[in-house]
Amino acid sequence: MTPHLLLVEDEAPLREATAERLREHGYQVVEAESGEVARTHLADFAFDVVVTDLRLPGIDGTAVVQAAREHYPEIVTIVVTGYGTVEDAVAAIKQGANEFITKPFQFDHLLHILSTTLEQQRLKSENAYLREQLQKRYSFQGIVGRSQPMQNLFQLLETVSNAQSTILLSGETGTGKELVARAIHHGSPRRQNKFVALNCAAIPETLLEAELFGHVRGAYTGAVANRAGRFEQANHGTLFLDEVGAMSPNLQVKLLRALQEREFQRLGDTKMVTVDVRIIAATNSDLAQLVDDGTFREDLYYRLNVIPLQLPPLRDRREDIPLLVQTFLEQIGQTQTPARSHVAVSQAAMRRLMAFDWPGNIRQLENAIERALTLTPGQSQVNVGDLPPEIQEHNLNPVKPDVVLPEHGLDLNDHLSTIERELIRLALDQTQGNKQKAATLLSIKRTTLVEKTKRLSVSPHD
């Protein structure tokens, strides 16, 4: 297996020379000139090892180590510094660094440390730290996520759970809409009462009305007794209506009245039934577009869309994949006979999982982990070969090229200057021409930015 290494060093000549020699010795190296850039790489890719300078512009090497450990508990982290002191060493080790070496160092010494530490880490499968994070910092009522989209969602869920307003959950198939609906219910004052779910697309139209509102004996063939519908079953609790966009126009009218009046008639009955129900609806369709198309009632749309919540697809929250994988490993492992615990995922397999686009989102990821565990009884680690074929075969490249090389070739220096000019222009546009802020965005000095703008003839809005 080729080790993937993130090299964090603000001195470009040293970084480039070290990276080149590491590549010569079989390492896949990604370079980062600052701690901020390193954290971005760590959020997107499961590296095997991080080698970071301690003194960096912005966040320092100990923060890089901490970020690496939070994402990947088993990652190898090595801190390099020209200011080697006992205090620095202790601080780095406390943050989880495996080794601490000082500049100037012999390259062979770095190679020895890398090979030794990687071998030690290969034999160790320690997930306690990740379990602690799952239980404390990165969860909300059973939903896990460290990414910013999920942290923003958790804040919204804490707010809306205590309200009584109707909520409309939107998101692709498999993003966990029912799980979010249950989380809202269990975080609400209605938690002591029932959570009732109904998939409107899974029931034939002729039966859906009876499922929603119930029926009396003799209402239709087969109705041999009175039966309460989902609205009544959820009285004083929460009713979750999944795939609400699949309802027929006729049933949409009846649902609208039930939402407005909080009362309805059972099928075949003349009496009104009054209920106190909170509605959470969900859809993977664009209801606004269905309104424009004339297939969904506009008044019902606005009645449902009181508090809209959009669930992000898994491809937009890749840094959550390690947490989700650990969750599924533990949950599925406990259901197997005999129960399996402390199963780990190799970094190579984790890279494949993080690189995949997951059209089926969280549900597809859970299925992939269940498949891997089922087909590998007795193994303590899930490897690349244990994953579904489509994930094994997915293209894996931590540095995606931004250009296709033409058959006739190109002028490299001119092309790089064009890219550099565009990035500087975008930074200046974003900061309204403030050179200090633009330089910070690009992780370069202000004087360097000024020199480049003159050399490349860059100005905002050109």
Q: Do 88 and 175 reside in the same domain of the chain?
A: no
Q: Pick the residue with more confidence: 403 or 48?
A: 48
122-147 residue pLDDT tens: 655 444 444 554 454 566 777 888 88
Tell the burial category of 52 from Cβ atoms under 10 Å away from its Cβ (0-12, 13-18, 19+): buried
Highest mean pLDDT among 18-22, 135-139, 438-442: 18-22
Residue 87 scores a pLDDT above 60: yes
Q: Are residues 347 and 437 in the same domain?
A: no
Domains contained in the chain, number:
4
Name the band, by pLDDT with cuts 50, 70 and 90, for residue 1: low
Whether residue 170 is found in the same domain as residue 265: yes
Are 445 and 336 found together in one domain? Answer: no
> Which structure tokens are listed for 10?
């603000």
Same domain, 422 and 386: no
Strands (E), 66-221: 76-81, 99-102, 139-140, 143-144, 167-170, 195-199, 214-215
Rounded mean pLDDT of 217-244?
90
Q: Is residue 460's pLDDT more than 60?
A: no
| Domain membership of residue 213 as a residue range | 148-311
How much is the pLDDT for 441? Answer: 83
In a domain, 406, yes or no: no
pLDDT 10s digits, 284-340: 999 999 999 999 999 999 999 999 999 999 999 998 998 899 889 988 988 887 888
Quick one: 93 and 195 in the same domain?
A: no
Whether residues 158 and 269 share a domain: the answer is yes
In a domain, 141, yes or no: no
What mean pLDDT is predicted for residues 357-363? Answer: 95
Hey, which residues does 100 pair with through a beta bridge? Answer: 79
The answer on pLDDT for 399 being more than 60 is: no
Q: Where is pLDDT greater, at 140 or 387?
A: 387
What pLDDT does residue 16 have? Answer: 93
Mean pLDDT along residues 349-363: 92
Of residues 132 and 389, more confidently modeled: 389
Instruction: Lowest mean pLDDT of 25-39, 83-97, 271-285, name the range.
Output: 83-97
Query: What does pLDDT average to over the chain?
Result: 86
| Same domain assignment for residues 170 and 306 | yes
298, 291 Cβ separation under 8 angstroms: yes
Output the pTM of the full model: 0.65
Which of these, 66, 40, 75, lies nearest to 346 by C-alpha position? 75
Spatial contact of 292 and 282, defined as CB atoms under 8 Å apart: no
Q: Do both 253 and 220 map to the same domain?
A: yes
pLDDT of residue 307: 95
Instruction: Indicate if 224 and 281 belong to the same structural domain.
Output: yes
Residues 157 and 303 in one domain: yes
Q: 307: part of which helix (H) or strand (E)?
A: strand 307-310
pLDDT in tens, 98-109: 888 888 888 898
- Round to whole Å and give the CA distance between 101 and 370: 41
pLDDT tens, position by position, 168-202 = 999 999 999 999 999 999 999 999 999 999 999 99
Question: Does any domain span residue 402?
Answer: no
Q: Please, are residues 176 and 153 in contact by the beta-carbon 8 Å criterion?
A: no
Mean pLDDT of all residues in 201-210: 89
Q: How many helices (H) and strands (E) does the chain have?
A: 20, 18
